[in-house]
Structure 1
Amino acid sequence: MICIRTQHFNLNRILLLAVGLWPYQKSKFVRFQGILFFGILSSFIIFQLTALIKKDCTSEFVIKVFSITMIFNIYAIKYNMFWINTHNLRNLLEQLQYICNELKDENEIAILIKYGNNTKRYTAIFTLLTICLTLSTVILLIWPLIFGTVLHINESQVITMLTEYVVDREKYFYLILLHVNIVICIGSTTITATGLMILGCIIHICGLFKIASYRMEQAMTTKMLQNINLENQTTICKKIFYAVEIHRKTMKFTNLLFSSFEGSFFLLIAFLVTSLSLNMFGIFHNASLGDMESVLLHLIIVLIMLLYMFVANYAGQEVINYSNHIYSTAYNVRWYEAPLNVQKMILFILQRSRKNFHIKIAGLFIISLECFATLIKASMSYFTFMYSTQ
């Protein structure tokens, strides 16, 4: 028997434990850790928004503040999304484990192991990428400080491009820098851990769809159809039933997964599109001023958001493709040589699979590559409007 949590989601478990979001082993320390981390993320957002009250607000200043604040709002939303849905996440993992426990065929188990290994591989790759991007951002923040001792650069330039604290920057410089770096580390770990957990579930969903297609193929093999008797007919019906059953359970699991986080996903889409537009504006605006450090910072943010949006929508596209593969498998088998009652069962599968099964958020967004293009187009439209009114 395969233990999903320890064999396929072990690295995901470590990442979620690091930020206090693993749904198991909820001790008092973990609860305190969750409150502390969410408080740190929220404090950064509050400090930035407070600057809008304390200082004179020009359009450029407002855009600068919100281009950064939106990113940390996304961190807070992702953290809160998993924190309040701890019970739902635990139930989802248990349901996935229950579905996997029902697999008895060695080939089906091999398919599941293959997709479990894909989960571990992608988790490791994106974790390393996050570490590199986080280190790059931290180095970018302290870069002027490193050379400031030689070139006598004002130390407050280190955080000017990223933060708008209302306190005296010269006096509390090192505390502010520490706070910013802690927020970046917590936020990047949070968005990586939560995103990879959902991505891992989607990879397993694709694996279960693959098993459904495999069962359909095995039910209608040439050997079975060459000798149609009562025993073979019963065997074919059972195999088709098992294929339909795992297909139904997989769709149910998928709908439950995304319905648990539907409201948070809708907020994430809105914040991602807005933040992408603001940071693209920040790139062009700071480039015109010759502030290359700020340009590089906004560019890193834009690249991270584009990568995040692409991976999320590509995963949704894969769910559509794997679901459609069941339809093509049922259509291409030699159903015309099967008994009439078996043909009726296959017709039922064809009718059910004829409609694309997709991941839909708030009834508006179908997660797919087409959705990714639509979101990019919307972001570009908002950016063009802001840049034209500059």
Structure 2
Amino acid sequence: MILIPVFGIGAQTPEEEKRALEDELKKLEAQITQYEQDVTKTKKEKQTLQSRIQALKGEIQKLDLQISQGNLMIRDLGVQIKDTEKSVSTTEQQIGRYRERLAVIMRRLQGENQKSLIEILLGENELSDFFSNFVALERLNVQNQKLLASIKDLRGYLEEQKVSLADEKEDLEKVVSVQLLQKQRNVAAQKEQQTVLKQTEGKEQTYQQLLATSRQKAAEIRARIFELIGVPNAPTFGEAAELAKYVETVTNIRAAFLLAVLTQESNIGKNVGQCYLKNPDTGAGTIAYNGKTVSKVMHPSRDAPHFLRITKELGRDPFGTAVSCPIPTVGGYGGAMGPGQFIPSTWVLIESKLKAVTGGNVDPWSIKDSFMATGIFLRDLGGVTNEWSAAMKYFSGSSWSKYEEFYGNSVMALANRYQQDIEIISQ
């Protein structure tokens, strides 16, 4: 459920409305935290599902290859079995022919054995011819017996090979059947995971929408709270601390560090400049308290055009609005505006970000706007993680000499003191 703030209900005083909005903001921030956790959780679930789906896809592809390989092997074994059956059949035919030959030889041998001596003497020219013929038949019989035994061995081997190939083919068919079953299970699991993934993606999108809506409402409440904070042009430390603590909730810039930078720049709004721009074409101007002409009050091309636009939009007199004077010992130009001492060309860089927070027009001379602008700028300079470096960049840009490091050191010393003060007044 999204809590929608309603501003200005009934006859609330600004302070009552501010407290009510702060309570509402706490609830929204709790919701935002929960939605962020939900988004993170669903993202992890989605990643896990995507990984599982990818793994199943790989397993299915692997099984497809194994099944194809198995089917090829089964077909090859089938061919081998047919060839073996053909060889067995040919061997059987050979065995039959050799048996017939052996039968003929055996009959002839038997016939020779049954002849009487008279038949042998009368039937043969010589006795030696009879014995030679008999011995030849015996030798042929032995050779045929050996060949028949060899062929029978071959038949036995082929029969065993046929059985072995058939068993191997049957085992392989079982493996392929199991692989097909596993593939079906993996495909079903993949479809189920894809369905869950779609549901998870839908949940993530819903949480993202809720998170975006909650963040938008929180931003609206923060802008209204910021609008309700009433501080004078030069606030007391307690007022400045409250404002800085609020800026910290938006920018994550430590309140004590923010106050230290603003103290270093303008003594928290008490010294916003002592010069007036008089000639935007040259950047020359005057000192406010004595009217003395000063050159380099503002950079004529980099800053003056922006300054004229800013003051015009705010209804300010560009030639009667105080800006910082140039520092003779340092060189360069003056022209910094308001408590945050932004030069116009830097102000325009963060102007849109500041408007996004405050929800309206912004003024570099406003205490509230300058506090928030300084917090945003310090955040962009890396001040959340490295305060000293951000302070130096605020003062000197991206590079500085060791002689300028006094600024960062002074800011950090002030920040340490302010941190103690804030902790005391917060008790």
With normalisation by structure 1, the TM-score equals: 0.26
Q: Which structure shows the higher helix fraction?
A: 1
Structure of greater relative contact order (alpha carbons < 8 Å, 6+ residues apart): 1
